[in-house]
Amino acid sequence: MGDLTDKDAEKFTQSTETQGDEVPFVRVIEFWDKRDNHVKTIVDGVDRWAREPYQPAHKTTRFYPYFLIALFEVDGDRHPQSLSSRLKKLQDEYASARSSGRLARSRSIPGTIFDAGVISPEDIKKIEGAVEQEYVGIQPIAGGKLSDAFAEKPVGRYDPRIYDTTPTLRDMETLSGIQEALRQSGGQKTATEANIEQAGFASRTGADRDTQEDMLTDLAQYTAELSVQALPAEYVVGIAGELAFWPEDLPFEAVVTQLNLDIEAGSTGAPNKEQERQSWSVIMPLLRETMVIIQQAHATGNIPLAEALTELLEETMQRMGDRTNLDRFLPKLAATPAGALPMGDTGGQATPQAAGAQAPTGTPTA
């Protein structure tokens, strides 16, 4: 920034030759310097601070309030590539093939040439305007032979394979990450081919999805750190309700060590309804059968088995990509009265029937 002078600022003002009120323009630059945790503001062409450097009101582990999502980073380059720049050459190739093909088709249209020394232009107009099965009377000049007065116009041979844009379109679709199974093609695809193409599509877009989720994780962490320090409890209760718990006046060290947010992998993007229906058709029968076993385990006092089956269901649903709350489907157990024992539990004491003793009859005596 040391090479800038006050003459550079004159580039952003209107010329004095214009009429009316002049509107000045300046270039204001604000950069966040993490070396000393200060925000600095300058005006292009002015050799002093536009305002004194200051520190943000609230500290964050990131410091920068800017979040970059770069899907096509290149080693050694400062700026990532954009999808339009990656497709630029292919777009030019497609446009060139279409333009050249149109020109070749127009030049390959057949025509007829004639000998102007034998046929007059007036007779040619009669021939051009003739309709079906019409007799056209002409008079050849100087008695020339009519069959020798006409010849086929030589044209270039048009080969559509030269101007075929299918390879270019395929490269553009692959580069942009379009799903092959969704392409409009004339041939039929088998289920195996569609699954293989779907796997290739997922591998190409998986890296982009991971980059997006990393950016959202940084944004969520940054927002949470600012919210804990800046929002009062009354404001949070007004949004979340009276049961909301919100810490206040925490030191920055406590915010850093106790606050951690993460975006669940694969949770971004529009939901796949078809995949969700297929997953639920597999999970529902398993869930319905296991619910009965869990209830029986609780009824017989086998709590470890019930907890193990619950954990097994949660792991199964997680691996199948279903993020549904499992507690909604498990049977609700009735509250056990104070001092009562679960069904099947005698507290370690044998009952009279279990010990082989008979129940007393009659009136007991003192």
Asked if residue 41 has pLDDT above 90, the reply is yes
- Would you say residue 283 lies in a domain? yes
A 10 A CB-CB count for 21 gives: 6
Taking phi over 0 as left and psi of -120 to 50 as alpha, with beta for the rest, 339 belongs to left
Residue 86 backbone dihedrals phi, psi, to 5 degrees: -70, -30
Is 81 part of a structural domain of the chain? no
Q: Is 333 inside a domain boundary?
A: no
Measured between alpha carbons, how far is 282 from 317 in angstroms, rounded to an integer? Answer: 10
Most confident of 100-109, 175-184, 327-336: 100-109
Q: What pLDDT is recorded for position 43?
A: 92
Which residue range(s) make up the domain with 13?
6-54
* Three-state secondary structure string covering the chain: CCCCCHHHHHHHCCCCCCCCCCCCCCCEEEEEECCCCEEEEEECCCCCEEEEEECCCCCCCCCCCCCCCCCECCCCCCCCECHHHHHHHHHHHHHHHHHHHHHHHHHCCCCEEECCCCCCHHHHHHHHCCCCCCCCCCCCHHHCCHHHCEEECCCCCCCCCCCCCHHHHHHHHHHHCCCHHHCCCCCCCCHHHHHHHHHHHHHHHHHHHHHHHHHHHHHHHHHHHHHHHHCCHHHHHHHHCCCCCCCCCCCHHHHHHHCCCCCCCCCCCCCCHHHHHHHHHHHHHHHHHHHHHHHHHHHCCCHHHHHHHHHHHHHHHHHCCCCCCHHHCCCCCCCCCCCCCCCCCCCCCCCHHHHCCCCCCCCCCC
Distances (CA, A) of 129 to 70, 77, 119, 285: 65, 66, 15, 79
The verdict on 110 and 171 lying in the same domain is yes
- How confident is the model over 123-138, as pLDDT tens digits? 888 888 888 888 888 8
pLDDT at 100: 92
> Cα(66)–Cα(58) distance, rounded to whole angstroms?
15
Give the predicted TM-score (pTM) of the model.
Answer: 0.52
Picking from 176, 202, 230, the residue at the C-terminal end of a domain is 176
Rounded CA separation 123/138 (Å)? 6
Residues 131, 136, 142, 148, Cα dihedral to 10°: 50
Chain Cα centroid distance, residue 26: 38
Mean pLDDT over each residue of the chain, to the nearest integer: 77
pLDDT given at position 349: 46
In residues, how long is the chain?
366
pLDDT in tens, 309-329: 888 888 888 777 777 777 777
Considering 137, 161, 176, which residue would you say is the last residue of a domain? 176
**Number of domains present in the structure of the chain:** 3
Structure confidence by residue, pLDDT tens digits, 224-239: 889 888 888 889 899 8
Look at residue 204 and tell me if it is in a domain.
Answer: no
CA–CA separation, 214 and 263 (whole Å): 8
pLDDT digit string, tens, across residues 85-106: 888 999 999 999 999 999 999 8
| Other C-beta atoms lying within 10 Å of the C-beta of residue 182 | 12
- Using the predicted structure, report yes or no on whether residue 159 has a pLDDT greater than 80: yes
Are residues 172 and 110 located together in one domain of the fold? yes
Give 241 or 266, the one with higher predicted confidence.
241
Pick from 71-80, 215-224, 262-271: least confident: 262-271
Q: Which of 134, 150, 176 is the last residue of a domain?
A: 176
Residue 202 forms part of a structural domain: no
Residue 83 belongs to some domain of the structure: no
Tell me whether residue 277 is in a domain: yes
- Is there a domain that residue 131 lies in? yes
